[in-house]
């Protein structure tokens, strides 16, 4: 039996019935939180002093495409049009299973390093069962907790999600790994006919699986109406982005219990539209957060939280200024709420709220230690604000299911040099495929750009 006592830290439990921050000791036993109280005395437990640190639930990155990790930074100046055309229309088809494996491993390790303990991996380049298995193996080797959203590569021809592959994954790789759960990443009603959309929702419902889809840049059309009328929208429905959804539709989604994941840095930068953060809050709901694509952003959930709160505060100030001539006299969103999006709401969006997202006896021991003694946070007068303002440099320790995955500011049990070398080799090979295509490749890219542009315009008019 493994018993670890975390002593002396300032604890942010994220539980609604507890103070924002308090001095507590945390006893971890066999992967779960066994007890929380002041000055616990456990002589048979390994005791670790976390004075000067904040202990809080691990962060949840509810939407990220791990398979793009080897393409880091190539799309920092791309619009959504260029991203879809160049990544999905060009690079995606060149992926081999080994590329998926190293990308998932490296991406997950980076997430752990950033303080993320749970990842929603939206894997829409699982071109074959071998590609899917390689991704799952990479996630498992990293030690992260993850929901693997199985998805297919973009196709011009519609095709229902392969139920047989979902069943294979449930019976095989998912069953073998305690930290992995399965969801479905589908094109969704925005990009599917009513027949295909309903078939995909039914495949997920019949297996009690979370089903996730992108929706942005247009109002829900006939396919969404068919899914709604069939009663298939519910708590296991996750909508990513949600930009430009009309208020009446947003309310119907919220009333049905659907969750939303916003990826504010990417949405604002690539042209998805403004995040729905404030609109959800006015309906009594809240978003979860994701970082979306490693091709464009760093993958830090806390940065996503800070951008989300700043963008919405700015919008609220502007609305107040237009109506009264002065900015809002009181804050419209608090730091605590932004942390909630990064933890509790992320857990809810991934169907894991009964296991993670807050610190309490019986919950899984997924937590992080933030070193507030560093120059960028000290003195941390407000622990909640300090946690929100933390960077990678402050993430001292990460525990997942009671096991340390990062200690003393370094990842544990990782041959990082080998991982970095393999990731670089994969990225160079993939980019080389595009660079070697010459004039025919450039012509093909222009054709793809035009096709994607027409597709985006079509769906924006729905």
Q: What is the pLDDT of residues 32-53, one digit of tens each?
A: 999 999 999 888 999 999 999 9
User: Does residue 462 sit within a domain?
Assistant: no
What's the pLDDT at 329?
A: 87
Q: Are residues 63 and 53 in the same domain?
A: no
For residue 333, is pLDDT > 90?
A: yes
Name the band, by pLDDT with cuts 50, 70 and 90, for residue 436.
low
Q: Are residues 116 and 140 in the same domain?
A: yes
Q: Are residues 312 and 322 in the same domain?
A: yes
What's the pLDDT at 462?
A: 47
Q: Which domain holds residue 234?
A: 59-349
CB 26, CB 57: distance < 8 Å: no
For residue 161, is pLDDT > 70?
A: yes
- CATH number for the domain including 236? 3.20.20.140
Q: Are residues 190 and 157 in the same domain?
A: yes
* pLDDT digits 0-9 by tens, 395-408: 999 999 999 999 99
User: Does residue 460 sit within a domain?
Assistant: no
Name the band, by pLDDT with cuts 50, 70 and 90, for residue 341.
very high
User: Does residue 42 sit within a domain?
Assistant: yes
Rounded Cα gap, residues 359 and 367, in angstroms: 8
What's the pLDDT at 328?
A: 86
CB 159, CB 186: distance < 8 Å: no
User: Does residue 442 sit within a domain?
Assistant: no
For residue 258, is pLDDT > 70?
A: yes
* pLDDT digits 0-9 by tens, 87-118: 887 898 899 999 999 999 999 999 999 999 99
User: Does residue 123 sit within a domain?
Assistant: yes
What's the pLDDT at 456?
A: 61
Task: Report residue 217 as tokens.
Answer: 């840049």
Lowest mean pLDDT among 148-162, 256-270, 298-312: 148-162
CB 273, CB 216: distance < 8 Å: yes
* Burial of 139 per CB tally in 10 Å (0-12, 13-18, 19+): buried
User: Does residue 450 sit within a domain?
Assistant: no
Q: Are residues 334 and 254 in the same domain?
A: yes
Rounded Cα gap, residues 75 and 78, in angstroms: 5
| pTM across the whole model | 0.94
Q: Are residues 314 and 177 in the same domain?
A: yes
What's the pLDDT at 138?
A: 98
For residue 447, is pLDDT > 60?
A: no
Q: Which residues pair with 60 in a beta bridge?
A: 118
User: Does residue 444 sit within a domain?
Assistant: no
User: Does residue 239 sit within a domain?
Assistant: yes
Name the band, by pLDDT with cuts 50, 70 and 90, for residue 260.
very high
- pLDDT average, residue stretch 210-239: 94
Q: Are residues 225 and 96 in the same domain?
A: yes
Q: Are residues 45 and 117 in the same domain?
A: no
Name the band, by pLDDT with cuts 50, 70 and 90, for residue 441.
low
What's the pLDDT at 193?
A: 94
Q: Are residues 49 and 70 in the same domain?
A: no
Task: Report residue 247 as tokens.
Answer: 């208020």
Give the mean pLDDT of the chain.
93
Please report, rounded to a whole number, the percentage of residues in the chain having pLDDT higher than 70.
93
Cα dihedral 201, 207, 208, 210 in deg (nearest 10): -50
Phi, psi of 232 (to 5 degrees): -100, 0
What's the pLDDT at 445?
A: 63
Q: Which residues pair with 3 in a beta bridge?
A: 29
What's the pLDDT at 67?
A: 97
Q: Which residues pair with 260 in a beta bridge?
A: 239
Q: Are residues 288 and 370 in the same domain?
A: no
For tokens 């504010």, the residue is 264
Q: Are residues 217 and 337 in the same domain?
A: yes
What's the pLDDT at 338?
A: 97
- CATH number for the domain including 45? 2.30.40.10
Q: Are residues 378 and 287 in the same domain?
A: no
Number of structural domains (the chain) is 2
Name the band, by pLDDT with cuts 50, 70 and 90, for residue 460.
low
């Amino acid at each position: 039996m493994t018993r670890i006592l975390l002593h002396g830290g300032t604890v942010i439990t994220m539980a609604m019935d507890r103070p924002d921050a308090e001095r507590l000791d945390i006893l971890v036993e066999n992967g779960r939180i066994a007890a929380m109280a002041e000055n616990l005395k456990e002589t048979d437990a390994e005791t670790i002093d976390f004075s000067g640190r904040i202990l809080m639930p691990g962060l949840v990155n509810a939407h990220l495409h791990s398979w793009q990790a080897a393409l880091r930074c190539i799309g920092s100046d791309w619009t959504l049009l260029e991203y879809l055309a160049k990544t999905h229309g060009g690079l995606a088809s060149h992926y081999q299973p080994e590329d998926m494996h190293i990308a998932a491993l490296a991406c997950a390790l980076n997430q752990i390093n950033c303080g993320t303990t749970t990842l929603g991996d939206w894997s829409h380049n699982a071109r074959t069962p071998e590609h899917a298995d390689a991704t799952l193996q990479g996630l498992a080797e990293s030690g992260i907790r993850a929901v693997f959203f199985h998805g297919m590569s973009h196709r011009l021809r519609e095709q229902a999600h392969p139920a047989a592959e979902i069943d294979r994954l449930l019976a095989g790789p998912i069953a073998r790994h305690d930290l992995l759960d399965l969801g479905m990443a589908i094109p969704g009603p925005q990009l599917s006919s009513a027949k295909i959309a309903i078939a995909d929702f039914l495949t997920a419902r019949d297996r009690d699986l979370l089903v996730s889809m992108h929706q942005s840049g247009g109002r829900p059309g006939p396919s969404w109406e068919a899914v709604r009328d069939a009663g298939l929208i519910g708590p296991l429905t996750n909508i990513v982005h949600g930009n430009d959804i009309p208020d009446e539709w947003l309310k119907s989604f919220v009333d049905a219990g659907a969750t939303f994941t916003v990826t504010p840095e990417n949405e604002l930068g690539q042209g998805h539209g403004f995040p729905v953060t404030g609109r959800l809050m006015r309906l009594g709901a809240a978003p979860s957060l994701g970082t979306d694509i490693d091709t464009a952003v760093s993958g830090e959930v806390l940065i996503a939280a800070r951008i989300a709160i700043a963008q919405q505060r700015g919008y609220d100030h502007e609305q107040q200024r237009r109506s009264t001539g002065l900015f809002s006299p009181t804050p419209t969103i608090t730091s605590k709420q932004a942390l909630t999006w990064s933890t509790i709401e992320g857990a809810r969006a991934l169907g894991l709220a009964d296991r993670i997202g807050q610190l309490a006896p019986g919950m899984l021991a997924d937590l992080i230690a933030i070193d507030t003694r560093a120059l960028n946070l000290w003195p941390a007068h407000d622990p909640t604000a300090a946690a929100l303002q933390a960077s990678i440099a402050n993430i001292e320790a990460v525990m997942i299911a009671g096991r340390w995955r990062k200690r003393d500011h370094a990842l544990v049990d990782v041959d990082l040099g080998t991982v970095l070398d393999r990731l670089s080799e994969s990225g160079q090979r993939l980019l080389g495929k595009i660079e070697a295509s010459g004039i025919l490749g450039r012509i093909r890219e222009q054709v793809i750009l035009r096709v994607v542009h027409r597709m985006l315009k079509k769906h924006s008019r729905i």
